[in-house]
Structure 1
Amino acid sequence: MGGTVVAVSSSGAHTFTKERRDGIRLLAGLGVEGDAHAGVTVKHRSRVAQDPTQPNLRQVHLMQRELFDELAGHGFDVAPGQLGENITTAGLDLLGLSVGTLLRIGPEAVVEVTGLRNPCLQIDMFRAGLLSRVAYRDDEGQVIRKAGIMGVVVAGGPVRPDDAITVERPEGPHRPLERV
């Protein structure tokens, strides 16, 4: 099972949208070089306010392009990087991965999946009504989160559009992704 990188994005400031790049570099144990969310400890403002010493389980944000296709069907025009992701993928069911899955991206980089992105109200400030399309309750009352996954960098290296992504599943039973 694998996919490809569609686009890569980063921002040195705490902005909702990230700028598309020709390439990014992942740094082991830190995240995306030059990105405001890179670091050993948590960098997301809401998490820093709770406890700035928490480990950064959100070093890299990945989102599947197929979500953009789904959103377009509901009248939302969204492009890679606009929802804050660092790596936009295609051909890979990110939301169905297990905690601890390793994603080998390009020639060197490895990202360990830690959990689901917990989308916030900034999404509705970007496009009114969008939050209800990426986070909602299903018929059984379970919260469904579609705004991508988060991970930590196990091995650094360059990542560029068209790079291959190989999935290495962890041993043991599947552990569904939860918000991090």
Structure 2
Amino acid sequence: MKGRVKSISTSSKKGCKKKNTQIAVLKEDFGIVGDAHGGGERQVSLLAIESIEKMRKKGVDVTSGDFAENITTSGMDLMSLKLGSHLKIGKSALLEITHIGKVCHDRCEIFRQVGDCVMPREGIFAKVLKGGVIKPRDRMEVVKQWKSHTL
């Protein structure tokens, strides 16, 4: 399965709106250098532009990064990925899928506006196995797909 990086978004503080950037450095076992959400098992968050477009159809004015995702993808069915799958991005970066969806403890502004948010059910999270530089339009490819949701 293949796709592309649509955009990259980071924030230096948790709880702040992420800003789009034209280049990012993925650091092994950390995440995106300069992003406040690095470390742990959910180092990098990904959401498909197709998921964002679902919210637009509900009348919500949203764009890449508005769901606090680090990487907005295009053309890849993220929801079909299994835990443990490996995703190559660009020339050398390698991610491992660690979480699918998330619990939304504090309803975000988007949820408060329309009663729905796609990130908790369609966002995925990964840890960085191999670092590298990534940028919008980079190719993405699943290089290892696990057969079940358990590791």
Flag whether TM exceeds 0.5 (same fold). Answer: yes
Rg larger for: 1
8 Å CA contact retained: 2:10, 2:35: yes
Q: Deviations over 1:60-116 (max 9, x none)?
A: 000000011111111112111111111000000111101111110001111100112
Partner SS, residue 128 of structure 1: helix
Q: Could you say which residue in structure 2 is the equivalent of 1:139?
A: none
Residue 132 of structure 1, CA deviation: 2.5
Instruction: Tell me if 1:176 matches 2:149.
Output: yes
Identify the match of residue 149 of structure 1 among 116, 121, 124: 124
Describe how 1:72-83 pairs up with structure 2 within 5 A.
72-83=56-67
Give the partner amino acid of 1:27: K
8 Å CA contact retained: 1:104, 1:165: yes
Q: Could you say which residue in structure 2 is the equivalent of 1:141?
A: none
Distance in 2 of aligned mates of 1:101 and 1:37: 21
Residue 37 of structure 1, CA deviation: 1.2
Residue 84 and residue 61 in structure 1: after superposition, are their counterparts in 2 closer, same or farther (change >3 A)?
A: same
Q: Could you say which residue in structure 2 is the equivalent of 1:63?
A: 47
Residue 170 of structure 1, CA deviation: 3.5
Structure 1 unaligned segments of length 5 or more: list them: 40-55, 136-143
RMSD: 2.0
Q: Deviations over 1:148-169 (max 9, x none)?
A: 1000000000110000001123
8 Å CA contact retained: 2:110, 2:116: no
Residue 109 and residue 130 in structure 1: after superposition, are their counterparts in 2 closer, same or farther (change >3 A)?
A: farther
Distance in 1 of aligned mates of 2:35 and 2:86: 21
Q: Could you say which residue in structure 1 is the equivalent of 2:83?
A: 99
8 Å CA contact retained: 2:110, 2:117: no
Distance in 2 of aligned mates of 1:81 and 1:15: 13
Structure 2 unaligned segments of length 5 or more: list them: none
TM-score w.r.t. the length of structure 2 is 0.89
Give the partner amino acid of 2:121: R
Instruction: Count residues in correspondence.
Output: 150
Partner SS, residue 103 of structure 1: strand
TM-score w.r.t. the length of structure 1 is 0.76
8 Å CA contact retained: 1:96, 1:176: no
